[in-house]
Chains A and B, each alone.
Chain A
């Protein structure tokens, strides 16, 4: 009985780390969101829910950042999930060539965001960039764009970069999920004369649901936190067209020195992510595989 009490002591180190690195900052952010703290001075005043009212009613840039973030997230979640699933299905067999390709697709994931930003800034450069040059050589001049300078498409250009950046990572999760599906089911389907589409629809996709849930949830959170890539590429410009919530929080906290307001946006940010992730789990949830 005493031993079972002592066993809780093992939780203490983890709890201490969790408290220092997660709990304390979260509670602090919540606390400061009700203040006008500038992040430097030792003094601040409580302003009640003014910061939240301002975010909801009197901050057009924040509203724009939320909209941009949702567009970015939708693009990334849809295309990253589809691409990684297709590649996983193609590369499912453990041949040497497939393993090499999987490693190749995974490679961007190990790069730093700043390196990725630098590479893609060069690719997207309108005058001497790789993409427009390639389109020009291919006779597709009509498709040449100002990829990061056009306010209407810049956020999608960055979303595509994000997809390129992380598809390999999601591919690995899907490959693991596919390998977990018993081969017997495919053999039965083959004997029964099921087409490839029917096999995918009735066997692969339902049994991949747990992996898909992880991929979609992780991609969503990643999309909301794509601060480093966007900051190093466009810094939210032009004209805030690539501003997402994370870059705006940085702007408010570290350029405008309004930590109180930035904290309130952070709390709203946290709530948005929590709601979206919860809804995704509700829709996609399938933690029990049934045959």
Chain B
């Protein structure tokens, strides 16, 4: 009896250990990105004994193919290094990257968004200092300033994104509409488009619309680049003119029918489809959707058309840019040298050119050769236009960011700009020190 009892108990313990081991594997899977939501690849995911394997984590699933090719080329040039790439959905990446970087086993090379994620990772001390690395000089000095803090280069942004509306150039030409230079002209443009049964702006208010369009809507209403820093320190308020007038401009777009009444229920795929099918003239997102638009309608001729919300002579900025996909080396990594070698490789103009043209992205690397048509057509925004860095990324507290975005949704939902601003300010005050 006693013997069989212990035998049963031993079996139970063994089963427990076995189950725990299975659970352990699953947990490890999460960390290494082998779960269903992540994409795990690389030129040579299994490193041989004489190779050092580094982990590269990011959120750009659409770039996996080109990164696979680049990694393969990197590995053939550097046979002693293997790169394992894990790609996470951007939302998951934004919330979980910090946890993954903690012990240094994942993310020897990692990417960061500017703004609140950069601040959190910096506070946690996960950025290795890249200041003295030679490859830093391959990047445009002005574009990588956003990756600096406390006199150190902590990360180097790779992509240069234009977060401002994209428009159908041929449609405007056919209707004889000149790109508006002032708010009055912008409203007039909307009326002309509507007279021709065209929705002026496809606005995906159900997902990224507010956080993208707010940038160009406020760029000239609040030209002070420190405005959100002042908001977070209590010096500024959302009930002041710069934000209330921005909300009033949103209300005008809604009242004038330039943004659809249903916009808060529209997702980005739907908005992209309506511009691709030429039912709408402008897509209120950014350059990163140009490739999708061209994919759905190769006849489209596209450019940017950010709204100038003031008179022509008052306008200081013509558009919005963001240096993002910030490459960095994990301070907790034991393979920092190999990780830096990989970033050095990515920063070579010929490698960067391949990445840029195959993904349809402008980059922060000097001497990149843009061969794709849409990149060439819009390259003049890099040199000839006065653009400012995306203001939203200067909000370092995500609760404050949510309050700002919610006030836009509130106005688009029918509330008055003043009420929306007051409620948002209340949330801001609840969340700042």
Contact among A6, A124, A127, A150 with B413 in the assembled complex (CB-CB below 8 Å): A150
Closest Cβ neighbor of A254 among chain B residues: B95
CB distance from A255 to the nearest CB of B (A): 4
B343 touches A (CB below 8 Å): no
Q: Which of B116, B205, B262, B423 has the most CB of A within 10 A?
A: B262
Query: Counting CB contacts under 8 A, is A151 at the interface?
Result: yes
CB neighbours (8 Å) of B407 from chain A are 239
B256 close to A (CB within 8 Å): no
A206 to B306, CA, bound (A): 65
Contact digits for A217-255, partner B, Cβ 8 Å, 1 yes 0 no? 000000000000000001101111000000000111011
Complex CA–CA separation, A150 to B207 (angstroms): 14
**How far does the Cβ of B208 sit from chain A's closest Cβ, in whole Å?**
11
Residue interface mask A130-165, B partner, CB < 8 A = 1: 000000000000000011111100000000000000
- Residue in B5, B12, B16, B262 whose CB lies within 8 Å of A126: B262
Q: In the assembled complex, which residues on chain B have CB atoms less than 8 Å from the CB atom of A3?
A: 1-2, 5
CB < 8 Å neighbour of A127 from B5, B12, B274, B426: B274
Tell me the smallest distance from the CB of B188 to a CB of chain A, in Å.
25
**Cα–Cα distance between A151 and B102 once the two chains are bound (Å):** 39
Complex Cα distance, B21 from A17, in Å, reads: 12
Please determine whether A6 and B5 come into contact, CB atoms closer than 8 angstroms: yes
Question: A60-B430, A256-B397 are contacts. A149–B406 as well, Cβ < 8 Å?
Answer: no
What is the size, in residues, of chain A's interface with B at 8 Å between Cβ atoms? 44
Q: Looking at the complex, which one of A39, A149, A239, A252 makes contact with B206 (CB distance below 8 Å)?
A: A149
Contact of B270 (CB < 8 Å), options: A13, A127, A255: A127
CB-defined contacts of B273 to chain A, threshold 8 Å: 128
> Per DSSP, are chain B's interface residues mostly helix, strand or loop, or mixed?
helix
Give the contacting residue for B205; candidates A38, A54, A149, A251; CB below 8 A: A149
| Cα distance A10–B11 in the bound complex, in angstroms | 10
The answer to whether A239 touches B2, judged by C-beta atoms less than 8 angstroms apart, is no
- Are A256 and B398 closer than 8 Å at their CB atoms? yes
Please state if A238 and B205 are interface contacts (CB–CB under 8 Å).
yes
When chains A and B are docked, how far (Å) is the Cα of A13 from the Cα of B266?
50
Query: How far is A98 from B214 in the complex, measured between Cα atoms in Å?
Result: 54
A residues near B20, Cβ cutoff 8 Å: 17
What is the CA–CA distance of A125 and B9 in the complex, to the nearest angstrom? 56
Are A239 and B5 touching (Cβ within 8 A)? no
* Interface residue from A58, A125, A256 paired with B265 (Cβ < 8 Å): A125
Chain B residue at minimum C-beta to C-beta distance from A20: B20
Query: How many Å lie between the Cα of A99 and that of B410 in the bound state?
Result: 47
Choose one: B16, B261, B270; the contact of A16 (CB below 8 Å): B16
| A121 pairs with B267, CB closer than 8 A | yes
Instruction: Identify B266's interface contact among A126, A250, A251, A257, CB under 8 A.
Output: A126
Tell whether A238 pairs with B264 under 8 Å between CB atoms, given A60-B426, A127-B274, A151-B413: yes
Other-chain contact of B399, A7, A128, A256 (Cβ < 8 Å): A256
User: Which chain B positions have C-beta within 8 A of A237?
Assistant: 206, 264, 406, 409
Whether B398 lies near A40 (C-beta < 8 A) is: no
Q: Are A6 and B266 CB-contacts (below 8 A) given A239-B406, A255-B398, A256-B397?
A: no
Bound together, the chains give a CA A13 to CA B2 distance in angstroms of 19
CA distance A237 to B273 in the complex (A): 22
Query: Is A149 in contact with B95, judged by CB distance below 8 angstroms?
Result: no
Taking CB as reference atom, which chain B residue is nearest A252? B399
* Residue B120, interface by CB 8 Å: yes
Interface residues of B in 53-100 (CB under 8 A from A): 94-96, 98-99
CB proximity of A248 to chain B, nearest CB, Å: 10
Q: Determine if A96 is an interface residue (Cβ-Cβ < 8 Å).
A: no
> Is B427 located at the chain interface by the 8 A CB criterion?
yes
How does the 8 Å CB contact mask read for B397-421 relative to A, with 1 for contact and 0 for none? Answer: 1110010001101101100000000
Are A10 and B2 in contact, with the CB atoms below 8 A?
no
Q: Does B13 contact A (CB under 8 A)?
A: yes
Complex CA gap A160/B123 in Å reads 43
The answer to whether A149 touches B120, judged by C-beta atoms less than 8 angstroms apart, is no
Residue B15 CB within 8 A of the other chain: yes
CB of B153 closer than 8 Å to a CB of A: no
Taking a contact as CB atoms under 8 Å apart, the answer to whether B12 and A61 are in contact is no
CA distance A255 to B96 in the complex (A): 9
**A-side contacts of B149, CB under 8 Å:** none
Asked if A146 meets B261 with Cβ closer than 8 Å, knowing A238-B205, A256-B397, the reply is: yes
Q: Is A40 in contact with B262, judged by CB distance below 8 angstroms?
A: no
Q: Which of A1-56 contact B (CB under 8 A)?
A: 2-3, 6-7, 9-10, 12-13, 16-17, 38-41, 54
- Known: A126-B266, A150-B413, A238-B206; 14 extra A-B contacts, CB below 8 A, are A2-B2, A10-B9, A40-B99, A40-B124, A58-B430, A125-B266, A127-B270, A146-B262, A148-B264, A149-B265, A239-B407, A250-B95, A251-B402, A256-B398
22 CB contacts below 8 A, A to B, read: A3-B2, A9-B9, A12-B13, A13-B16, A16-B16, A39-B99, A40-B98, A54-B430, A58-B430, A59-B430, A61-B399, A125-B270, A127-B274, A128-B270, A148-B206, A149-B206, A149-B263, A150-B264, A151-B410, A254-B95, A254-B96, A255-B116
Residues in chain A within 8 A of chain B (CB atoms)? 2-3, 6-7, 9-10, 12-13, 16-17, 38-41, 54, 58-61, 121, 124-128, 146-151, 234-235, 237-240, 250-252, 254-257
Top 4 closest pairs, chain A to chain B, by CB:
A149-B265, A149-B264, A254-B95, A126-B262
